[in-house]
Every structure is written in C-alpha cells, then in structure tokens.
Structure 1
C-alpha cells in the first residue's frame, strides 16, 4: 500500500537567495535517488523556510521493484577450457552474480558465444533504502559553504535537526552526529519544538507553532496582506517579484505592516529612495494614484501582529537614518562641478595593470569618435556622445555612489541634468552600463548605445592586452557579459562593425601606454566576439551547423554574420537547398587547389576561355552583390545551373598552366563571395 515519506533538514537561517534553489535541488536529487533505487512514487512536494528544507514523497511504494536480470559474462572459449571445465573467469563471473557456474548458459551474439546468467532480484523494503537518504542531503550543493565544530564537512549552514518519517514510523537517517527523529522546531520566537506524529500532518503541525512551511502559501499571504493595505489606503504598490521572493524566504510566519517617513525626503531622486527602501531595507515602496512616490513603505515581519506598532517605529527609525544620509550626500555632491569630479578620476584606478579611470575615458572618447561616424550618428548625436565620453564616469567619486554603489550611472544622469548637461548626454551616462545582465534591457538612445559599445570595447581590448583573458568559468571582470552586450546592441540597432577594421583603427589611433599591446591578442579578441555571436544565434534557435558555418566564414562583422545565419536558416528547407550547397561546395573545394589567395587585383583573362560557361560564370559572379545577406544568398544560389555547366564543360586542372590558373582564379574569386556566407562544408543537408 502506498505511503508518504517526509524528510526535513533543519538548519540555522539560510540566506534568502539560496532557499528556493536549494529545496528545488533537494527534490531533484531525491527523485533521482528513488528512481535509481527502483522506488516508485506519485509525486514530491517541497516545503521551505529560512530554517528548513523539506520534501514529502507522496504515494511511495512499500518496496523496490523486483527485477529479472540477464547478466553477460566472458565468451565461451574463455569461460571453459578445452575439456569443458569452468575456468577461473567463469567462476568469478558466477560469484560476482551471487550464483554458481551451474547457472551459466550460453547464447550467441554477433557470431560469438557468451556466458550468461539469468537471475531474479527481490526488491528491498523501502525503509532499507530510505536509510541512505543522507546521500541526498550531503550531495546538495550551494554557492557558499561553511564548516562548524571540528568537522571537515561543509554546508550552507549548520544542520541542527532531521526529521525522517515513513507515515508514522521513524526511518533512521544520520548526517554527522545528527540523528533523525520526529521532533521539529517551531518559530524561533513564537513556537516550540513539536513532534510530527505522521508525515501527512507535517504542514498543520508546524502551523500550530507559527511556521508556514509551504512557500507558495506564505507568498500568497504576503501578497494578500499587501493588497489589503493598498486598497485600504488607496495606494499603488509595485509588488516586485524578486523582492517578494526574497522577503518570503526571510520569514516563517509573515505579518505585513506599513510605515511612513517625512515628505521632505521626497525631494531626493526617486531612485535613491527606492534603493534605500527596496535594496537596502527590503521594503516595498508606495506610489499614489498619480504615480508619484508617496512617503510610505511596506515591510514584512517574521512573526505575528502583537506589538506591531513597535516594529513599525523601529523600521521607520532605521529608514529615516538612511534617508538622512542620502539627503546629506545629495546636497553635498551638488556643491562640486562635474569638472571637479572628472579631475578626481585621475587618481582612481580602472585596473592597476591598465591605468586610471580618467585614462579609460580618454580612450573611450577616441573609440566613440570612430563609432559615431561608423554608425552614422547625426552631428548633434555625435556632439552628445563625445561630451558624454569625457565625463561619463564622474559619479563614481560622488558621496552618493560611494554609499549606494548600485546607483552608479543613475546618479550620473541625475547630477548631469542638474548641472546643465543635455538630455542626450545625461541619459547616455546611465545607459552606458546597459545591459547589466546577460539578457537585460538595452540602451534606448543611439548615443547611449554607442557609448555602451565604446566603454565595453575598451574594457575588452585592454584586459586582453595585459593577458587578463577569461578562461573556463573564470571571468572576474565580466568580459563575456560585456561582449555579449555589444553584440546585442549592434543587433538591436542593425549597426555594422567589421572587427578587423575596428582593431586596425584602434592600433593606429588609440592613445595608450606602451604596456598595452593591442596587437598581442588581436585574433583572440575577434574569436571572443565571434563566440558571443554564436551565443546570440543559439538564443535565437539557429541550427548549430549553420552557426558553425557562419562562424567559420570570412565575414567578421557581427551583424552580417547574424543576418547570414538567419538567411541560411530560412532557406534550409527550400527544395533546391541541397543542390545549391553542393554546387557552391564544389567551387569551395576546388578553389583550395589554387596556390594563391584572393586579392582585389586578381583578374580573369577572357582570351583563355575555351567554353561559353567560363564567360557566363565570370559575368554572373561579377554581378553578385553583397548589399544584404538575402541578396547574396539568392544570387549565389542562382549560379547553380552555370556552375553545373562550368564543371561539365571544363577540366579545372588543365594541362595548359595558363588555362588552369585562369580557371582557378575564377573559382577563387567566386569562393571569396561564397565565404561571406560562411564555411558551407559545415552545413548539413538532407
């Protein structure tokens, strides 16, 4: 008869951000353990609070599934000697299966007879298997770990108790010196230790001790309480999902409350107030019905509503202290000019091996100057971009950003507006950090987008120049994220940027100290950027073979590579795609026989033509345009009949050296265009 199995790990309070991930991992590892041990079950429910990770396996079987096994052993000639006696190999095989040689039989497999043993294994009782659940507990991984006592064992927090019950029966599980039982702990301040009489009563038993073990139920309670406060006061509250998740994993018995602060603090920028409330104190901020920030906040207490007024006063006092600091910093910062802050950046290191933040801005100015023309920015946009590049890091040395580092860029925009900079300049200062995560929001303005690319390019080329190159999972300066951000911004704006041309410009024009050798890792930088193109194409569900083809081609302009990949994917199901790829592939393969590479001055001599197809191929290739990936593909695809005729009529490796080289020249010129699509040998066709 199916039963329920409860396993609770009791811990000291865990960091909020690990709770949900850890209980999910706990359930996944338990599921794998049970399946590997042939224990069937209906479902696994998860429960979690800051002090516990729990699974409830519902409908778990009484025993392992019985199995019939046919074990394969050595070949017959090894299992028996010439007289038909069992060899040591056969005896060892039988012993390993807990059987005797008399149980061996032979069957033929691919023309060879092998020894086999057929055996039946009765499943063990589920209790015998569950005693090994300590393997699941100790296998859970965490982003940070700690030791306690004299143990070498590491875990997210010290384990204080374990509950292991199969219905109402204790199943012994032990981790270190902690032995499981049926006693769990209630709320740290409101509850007491309590005995779980039956696995199915776990949730209700804990509720009696002020613990809501079901994280979803707890989260809904918080949401409902916030909603009631909002309706009672006619407020608009942005219930941020990430903040709700964090707060939910900080409490076991939630009670929501609201507090207030003096209206005078509303003169501080909203972003500062929100950071103080949301990021620093984990409060939900409040807006009125017009969308304006209101002088109130909502918090969640880990406990009941008794003496809640004291809790409110305490939280108000803590918040006001932070707002007083913010107000002071905001006013003090405005007593200096942007020029004052920029001057201070001369003594702020970007990186000790590279130079100062002031020097970085000087390089970014030069890169931005190049990009403005490359991307076709207007005169006013270029003016804003160059001004922004001269000052965009100034807020790093303001008191506000020193106290609230998460506001870098945000305060730069605010202060720049206050100090008279144009909207384009101030917005670019904030947007240059974007995207702040792999798939985060991108800059909205062209000026911000260009500054973001210039800043990220400078970081990549300078870190590579001093051999600080990401390897494996090691990427301390987030260069992969920055490079991917560049590719996403280029793609969003459809900006073309040839990586070779870019690096040639940087080597020739960038003012850098001798210690920064931009030539040292030029190819590595290109490969690094192309790998980020691969990442974007995978995100867009482009076929892996097409991605490989595009990445292996001659085109190293990210936006053109992306366009080509999409074109190849769109045409991959065309009826003639296979024959087109084969025809173009013949040119690619035979062009490799040439002992010379493509150059712009390669010419084909019409006087050496022996067949009409040679002139026709020359004419059609000369008319191929690469204005767009779609046009390039269609025009190359249209060459197929001519290519077929060309190879039918002409011997490429002709005896006449001049004729041979003339034909190879034709193929090399055609291959130069084909390579812009990529390495087509990597494209799989059906």
Structure 2
C-alpha cells in the first residue's frame, strides 16, 4: 500500500485568542472523522494554530481507498419472482440498478423471510479525487463570532488571505471566496516572508525559519521556559496564571519573554488593581517575592525576537505607567466620596429596562436576604450584617475604579467598605456576593456573603423569568445558568435546608406588578423549578452521580437542594445493597401499578374485601405524619426508614389480593390505594426510574 503526506493551511487575519483552542480541537476532530468516513488509513494527524493560521498535516495517508465488495439487499423473493418462478420486473430492475443482471442474484433468509441479494464491487477512489473535498471541512468549522468581508457571502472567523493544500509536492485544487490553493505560505508579519512549500513534513521547520512557531504547545513551553529563566536570574517568584498563559501563547507567533518595572509608589494601590491592570489590560505576569507580596516588576511576552528588547521593555513600562497613574487617581478620588453618596447614584443606573434600576434591585435583594436569613435561623448579629451587606453590596458600581476596571466590582467594594469603616464581615460579603464567578470558582466563605450572593442571584433569575428573559440555546445574556449553578453550589456546599421552591414563590411576589394572572404566575414558577432542576442535574453529573439516580430524585418537588444530594447519595448506595431489595421491589411494584389508577378516584374503606387491604391502608395512614416530618426536616435516611414501615403490608397485600379485580369498583379502589402510597413514595424519589443492580443478584 502506497502512502502520501498531506498539508492543509488556512491563512487569515489575526484571530481572537479566546477562540483558538476550540478551533484547533474542531480541526483535528473533523479531519479524523472525515478520513474515517472515507475509509482512508493514516499514521498520524498533527494540527497547528497561530494567530494568523490554522493547519493540519496528515502523515502517511493511504493513497487510495481499499476496493470493496458490498452485499446489496433487494425485495423479498415472493416479490422478486412471478407465479411461474421467473424473475419479476422488480428483480430485473433491482439488479440493473446495481450494475448487475439477474444471473448475479442469490437468495438469503432473514428472520424467516427470503430476500434477493447481489454482490457489488466498488473500486476505491484515489486521494487525488477525494482530497479537494477538505474544503467542506474548513467551511464546517464553527466559531462563537463570525464576520463577512468585501463582497463575499461567507461568514468566517476572519478574512481568508491564503490557502495551502499539498498532496506531497502537488497542489490540491479548490478555492474559498476566490482564494485559490497553492504552495505559498507566509511567515511572521514583520520578521518573515513568503515561503514555497514542497513537502508537508517540512511545514513546521520552514515556518520556524520565518519566525513562526506553528505548534501552540511549543510556544507555551518557550514562554514558561523564559519565565523560569527570569525567576532564576532575578530571584523573583512569577506565579503562572494558566488562563493568561493560554491567551498569551495565542497572541504571538514567535514568543520572547522580557521584563519591565514600575515605580514603587504604585504598590500603595490595592494589589488587586495592579494585578488586574497587568493581567487583564496588558497581558503581563505580575512578580512577587517568596511571601507573595507584589514587587514593582512585570513579565511580558513579545511577538518577535530579543533584538532591541530593552526598547520594547521601556515602551511597555510607559504604557503600564499611564494605566497605573489613572488607577492611582481613581483610587484617591473614590475615597473622597461616601457609601451613602454612591448608593444615591444607583437610582440612576438601569439594571434592566423592565426590572428597574440598580437601586430597585438592591431593595429587593435586601428583602430576599432577610427572608433567607430568617429561614436559616440566623441570630440578631448575623441578621444585621446580612441586612447591611445587602444594602450596600452594589455601591462600588458607581466608583471611578470599577467604571474603568469592571473586573474589580465587589473587590473594590470590599476595599472601600473597609476604608469607610464598615464591619469586616460586611465588607467581605460585598466581594463574596459575586461568587462563584463560574462553575468551578471559589464559593463565599462567610455566611453573610453566601446569603447575599444567593439573594442577588435569585433576584436576577426570578426577575428575568418573570419578564420573559429566559435562556434559550446558547443565548443567556444575563448569565442566568451560571447564577443558578452558583445558588445550587452554595446551598449544597453549606448543606442548608432551604426550600428553593417556596423561596422562588415568595420572590415572585416582589414582581407581582409584572404578572397579574394566576395562571401565568404558575407557569413562571414551573419554568423556574424546571430551570433549577436542570442546573442541579448538571452539578450531580459533575459529581459522578448516575443518570438514573438523578432522574429519580429530580422527579420530586424542588424543595431542598442539599436534600436532593443526600437522597441521591443514599439511593446510589442502596442500588447494590441486597438488604434493600425487599423494599425496592415493594415500592417499585406499587409505583408501576399506580400508573393505571384514575387520579380523581378516592379510597373507600367500605369497598375493602380482605384484611390485607385494611392493614395496608392503616399502615399508610399511620406513617404519613412521621414521614411528612422527616421530609420537612430533610432527613433522607429517616424518611426512607419510615417508608419502610409499608414494605411488609405491601407484600402481604400483593400476596393475597388481585388488584385488577373483575369488579370495576373494587379494582379502582385498590388502584386508588396504591396511587396514594405511590404519591408518598415519589415525594422521596421515583424509585421506578432506577436500574436496581441488586435486583439481578
């Protein structure tokens, strides 16, 4: 078998760094799938990406598809033959359609029916015929944001400037938006030039000669090596923020690490401001001593060589100095105001057109936080802290510092609150109420911060749902999914026994002016419960809880999130517990039969025929109060134990009772009894959803 080496490269205007990891992953995944669909073997696929290009090299690609002999099924024999046993028109047409004749037909039995077949030879195509279709792989790449250019209709991440497509030394012909494939690539925008490629395997080396490190992993390693060398030479500690490192490696094609300095007086500014200025705005790595204290230096990465690096360093120092001077000015000016003055200005900041101002939101958050605090049974001192933190949680939004550095909202609130003499717990809560900032981020450490965080997030979620701003597909402009995840994470982490459903209903009252019809209120409440169940299911999956267990516990009403996790953990253990088999079988049998009951039919004791019916009904009534108490206190094990009181009466009932009695009234009455019990079981979980492995024992 002969093989070939193949290169595809797409040259573009500079791509956004944040899209490049996914673009490279898509390129590899789609190329692999494409070659598999074509039945072409290969040794390896290597992808490359820089700000101005993405490429793929396929090594030792099979130069021709294998020939195939395919068995093709035709109509049944009774259709393929006429009453005389001769081939019918259907058989003749089938064979001709496959390039065969009736002499090639043979018969096979499939599940008791004879069908006609032919074997068809399919000659494999050469890669010369197949490779131009890679154009479709390029056009099938998806990006979060696209653009159009010139008079082209194509929407793509950035305008395409050149295309390289080589099968060994031969150009693979196709074009995109008038750009034809060739064998010319381009090096570094300022340091490199044109390069003619004649061997796909020389792609990476030839680009490096033109000051392009095509392999993103190699660029990252060069940056890390440069940082480590500076640490060694200077005696510094340079913490590597891997999110920043990932971005920087995609901003350059030929990385060179260098350092710069700034005046020590800027260290009087909160370190969070300095770090934000360096990381978020300049893509610099801050420098610290061994104790983690900031030093007046920074580390940056140049897109080029080390030639005249001192000049580059001075230029970056000048840019950073201007930013830090602004930050210093803002910091000093903000301290001339007061919290109360800032809060007054919140009434002029719109939160959402239909939901009012930030001041309106703060008022609601304060009320929601008080409600949650009451449910948690916080003491008077904690209540005062929660109230104050909620009242001032947004005051820093009008400060100069947050206006300039939006990433510092909450952080500056904490700093300024401490400067203005607020209680430290209150100040801490201002920063923490924005936590967690993503699915795996830090949670609030203080009770005050956790309560205000939940209150703020629930206000946004309920408000948006009320006015119809519900996430759909990838559209979630108010980050409601992330905020709901945050609520679930905080409540679960603290094991708070909060009834989420009741809290949502109480918050809806704050938005009554937007929804007046009772039916619409119920619809919004149902949407909210479903939304929170979806977020809870997401976290449960992340924690490796089995899908059927998740479905079982989420079939219940949305009460306590921690309770859901406790029930899931308990049922996951019971799945393999042979001692639970007796209970499981009883409960699942009740749940399955109860599906046949009429919901409106009530249990009538006068229609009971045997003692077992009376005993089961009596046991059901005796356990309800205790069971309700365990559910109210969200005690999972105790609730399951109380339900267990019904197991023996259930088995005795089934052993001595024909549920589907011929007498319609008796049958419906028995089904009604099972439905009443099933409704209690489902308050814990829909146990019929679970794959009970111990039941196979």
Instruction: Give the TM-score, by structure 1 length.
Output: 0.91
Residue 164 of structure 2 is matched in structure 1 by 163
Distance, in Å, in 2 between the alignment partners of 1:540 and 1:33 is 34
Structure 1 311/616 Cα, relative in aligned 2: closer, same or farther at 3 Å? closer
Q: CA deviation at 1:17?
A: 1.5
Residue 540 of structure 1 is matched in structure 2 by 543
Secondary structure, counterpart of 1:35 in structure 2: helix
Distance, in Å, in 1 between the alignment partners of 2:674 and 2:683 is 14
Residue 676 of structure 1 is matched in structure 2 by 683
Contact 1:184 1:194 in 2 (8 A): yes
Structure 1 608/160 Cα, relative in aligned 2: closer, same or farther at 3 Å? closer
Q: Deviations for 1:244-264, whole angstroms, at most 9, x for unmatched residues?
A: 111111111111111111111
Q: CA deviation at 1:134?
A: 1.3
Residue 558 of structure 1 is matched in structure 2 by 561
Secondary structure, counterpart of 1:565 in structure 2: helix
Distance, in Å, in 2 between the alignment partners of 1:672 and 1:235 is 65
Contact 1:621 1:670 in 2 (8 A): no
Residue 246 of structure 1 is matched in structure 2 by 247
Residue 519 of structure 1 is matched in structure 2 by 521
Structure 1 608/213 Cα, relative in aligned 2: closer, same or farther at 3 Å? closer
Q: CA deviation at 1:241?
A: 0.8
Q: CA deviation at 1:109?
A: 2.3
Count of matched residue pairs: 680
Distance, in Å, in 2 between the alignment partners of 1:587 and 1:94 is 57
Name whichever of 559-568 and 85-94 sits farther off. 85-94
Residue 277 of structure 2 is matched in structure 1 by 276
Name whichever of 550-559 and 610-619 sits farther off. 610-619
Q: Deviations for 1:495-524, whole angstroms, at most 9, x for unmatched residues?
A: 11223432454466x4x5623559352222
- 1:205-244 map, 5 Å: 205-244=206-245
Distance, in Å, in 2 between the alignment partners of 1:595 and 1:36 is 52
Structure 1 667/289 Cα, relative in aligned 2: closer, same or farther at 3 Å? same
Listed as ranges, the gaps of 5+ residues in structure 2 are none
Q: CA deviation at 1:284?
A: 0.7
Distance, in Å, in 1 between the alignment partners of 2:593 and 2:139 is 60
Name whichever of 643-652 and 589-598 sits farther off. 589-598
Contact 2:248 2:301 in 1 (8 A): yes
Q: CA deviation at 1:649?
A: 5.1
Distance, in Å, in 2 between the alignment partners of 1:309 and 1:324 is 22
Distance, in Å, in 1 between the alignment partners of 2:93 and 2:660 is 65
Name whichever of 58-67 and 402-411 sits farther off. 58-67
Contact 1:613 1:645 in 2 (8 A): no
Residue 404 of structure 1 is matched in structure 2 by 405
Q: CA deviation at 1:90?
A: 4.0
Instruction: Give the TM-score, by structure 2 length.
Output: 0.90
Name whichever of 243-252 and 615-624 sits farther off. 615-624
- 1:145-544 map, 5 Å: 145-506=146-507, 510=510, 514-515=513-514, 517=516, 519=521, 521-544=524-547
Structure 1 82/492 Cα, relative in aligned 2: closer, same or farther at 3 Å? same
Distance, in Å, in 2 between the alignment partners of 1:87 and 1:649 is 62
Contact 1:164 1:172 in 2 (8 A): yes
Q: Deviations for 1:18-48, whole angstroms, at most 9, x for unmatched residues?
A: 2222122112111111111111001111122
Residue 569 of structure 1: which of 568, 572, 596 is its match?
Answer: 572
Name whichever of 17-26 and 241-250 sits farther off. 17-26
Distance, in Å, in 1 between the alignment partners of 2:680 and 2:281 is 57
Contact 1:555 1:675 in 2 (8 A): no
Distance, in Å, in 1 between the alignment partners of 2:201 and 2:221 is 22
Q: Deviations for 1:315-362, whole angstroms, at most 9, x for unmatched residues?
A: 111111111111111111111100001011111111110111111111
Structure 1 603/76 Cα, relative in aligned 2: closer, same or farther at 3 Å? closer
Residues 1:629 and 2:636 are matched in the alignment: yes
Distance, in Å, in 2 between the alignment partners of 1:52 and 1:664 is 68
Secondary structure, counterpart of 2:318 in structure 1: helix
Listed as ranges, the gaps of 5+ residues in structure 1 are none
Structure 1 622/590 Cα, relative in aligned 2: closer, same or farther at 3 Å? farther
Q: CA deviation at 1:561?
A: 1.8
Q: CA deviation at 1:662?
A: 10
Distance, in Å, in 2 between the alignment partners of 1:7 and 1:449 is 52
Name whichever of 659-668 and 384-393 sits farther off. 659-668
Contact 1:148 1:158 in 2 (8 A): yes
Compute the RMSD of aligned alpha carbons.
3.1
Distance, in Å, in 2 between the alignment partners of 1:23 and 1:499 is 41
Distance, in Å, in 1 between the alignment partners of 2:394 and 2:601 is 46
Q: CA deviation at 1:684?
A: 3.0
Secondary structure, counterpart of 1:640 in structure 2: helix
Q: CA deviation at 1:578?
A: 4.2
Structure 1 661/153 Cα, relative in aligned 2: closer, same or farther at 3 Å? closer
Contact 2:619 2:646 in 1 (8 A): no
Name whichever of 13-22 and 513-522 sits farther off. 513-522
Contact 2:42 2:59 in 1 (8 A): yes
Distance, in Å, in 1 between the alignment partners of 2:182 and 2:508 is 69
Name whichever of 615-624 and 556-565 sits farther off. 615-624
Distance, in Å, in 2 between the alignment partners of 1:444 and 1:205 is 53
Contact 1:42 1:58 in 2 (8 A): yes
Q: CA deviation at 1:488?
A: 0.9
Distance, in Å, in 2 between the alignment partners of 1:327 and 1:242 is 27
Structure 1 638/118 Cα, relative in aligned 2: closer, same or farther at 3 Å? same
Contact 1:636 1:674 in 2 (8 A): yes
Structure 1 275/38 Cα, relative in aligned 2: closer, same or farther at 3 Å? same
Distance, in Å, in 2 between the alignment partners of 1:140 and 1:25 is 7
Name whichever of 374-383 and 655-664 sits farther off. 655-664
Q: Deviations for 1:595-635, whole angstroms, at most 9, x for unmatched residues?
A: 7799xxx9999x99956945666656666562521222234
Name whichever of 342-351 and 648-657 sits farther off. 648-657
Distance, in Å, in 2 between the alignment partners of 1:82 and 1:656 is 55
Q: CA deviation at 1:683?
A: 2.5
Contact 2:601 2:672 in 1 (8 A): no
Distance, in Å, in 1 between the alignment partners of 2:683 and 2:268 is 56
Distance, in Å, in 1 between the alignment partners of 2:418 and 2:398 is 17
Contact 1:555 1:678 in 2 (8 A): no
Q: CA deviation at 1:60?
A: 1.3
Distance, in Å, in 2 between the alignment partners of 1:328 and 1:246 is 29
